[in-house]
Amino acid sequence: MKIGKGSCNGTFGELVQGIIDERPFLITFPIQSLRSEASFIPDPTSPELTGVTSKVKAIKAGKLLLNQFDLNGGGKLDIRSNIPIGKGMASSSADIVASMKAIAHSYSLPLTQDIISAIAAKIEPTDGVMYDEVVAYDYIHGDLIERFGVLPPFILVGIDLGGAVNTIEFNQFKKAYDRYDQHLFSEAYHWVREGFSKNEFSLICKATTISARVNQKILRKPYLFEMEKLAHAFQGGIVVAHSGTVVGILIDKNRLNSNEIVFQLSKHLSHLFKNLKKTPFYYSNVTNAKNINFIN
């Protein structure tokens, strides 16, 4: 045994989330600069796994992992994260995954993504963040549906609309998707697959915008129509946290004037949401995140 370390990325909502053929799914939008970092100090003399009470889900996941491998020892979990809570950015899922990785590292356990998924799904609907790349994932049952790979270079300019959403409570209610909604989800899924296979960023943006529109009947985001016009003007797409509070505009980082676009989008979002008195922020898989600091 040794001190174990584990890490997991967060997300900015989802590229797509909905139901196809009555099966719930999401397509992940991993943000590598959003991190949950866990450390585990094993204590073979104690049967208790301890940690801060705010990380109760991660502690429960750790206990389930130890039980699965018939380990009776305890220890202390410490988790640090820069992922905002209750915003639809996979904060608790990332804590759960990072904690299991830390314990597995300590005990040299043969931890797999399937094991992580199975345990995480017992605790809450999970965001598929045990996979580093973009995947389609059944977030209720913890099943991998399809791997897509790494997103092409992107910039996401977003804003937090405020408040918080309890994901467990949110997912207890059956979503009022009709047959046409499910057709749109199938269409969005198709555009994601095509976007990755053809390396066409615009098709991925098309998919995210379709999903954001449908989600308005489930968890409305103000000014989405205005944001969609703004995204269209800059050849991008809308991305939302389907069960959270953040919304953003996704653009192709390879555009020659991408830095100027970030400035213009930030200015427009600040004006559109001026009543919120919040500062837009951006993420990229090329540059570091802005306006995000580590929190306890």
CATH class of the 4-146 domain in this structure: alpha beta
Q: State residue 289's pLDDT score.
A: 42
Q: Residue 293: is its pLDDT beyond 50? A: no
* Of the candidate ranges 121-130, 139-148, 165-174, the one whose mean pLDDT is the lowest: 165-174
CA 63 → CA 69, 116, 124, 234, distances in Å?
Answer: 10, 12, 15, 48
Domain ranges of the chain: 4-146, 148-284
Q: State residue 72's pLDDT score.
A: 87
Q: What percent of the chain has pLDDT over 70?
A: 96
Count of other CB atoms within 10 angstroms of residue 219 = 16
Q: State residue 25's pLDDT score.
A: 97
| pLDDT, tens digit (0-9, with 9 covering 90-100), for 240-254 | 999 999 999 999 998
| pLDDT, tens digit (0-9, with 9 covering 90-100), for 10-27 | 999 999 999 999 899 999
Cα separation, 248 vs 24, whole angstroms:
23
Contact predicate 146/135, CB 8 Å = yes
Q: State residue 287's pLDDT score.
A: 57
Topology at the third CATH level for domain 148-284 = Alpha-Beta Plaits (3.30.70)
**The token pair that represents 273 in the structure block:** 């949401």
Taking alpha carbons only, the member of 133, 101, 121 closest to residue 15 is: 133
Q: Residue 291: is its pLDDT beyond 70? A: no
Q: Residue 45: is its pLDDT beyond 90? A: no
Cα separation, 235 vs 252, whole angstroms:
8
What is the pLDDT averaged over residues 245-266?
Answer: 91
Domains 4-146 and 148-284 share a fold: no
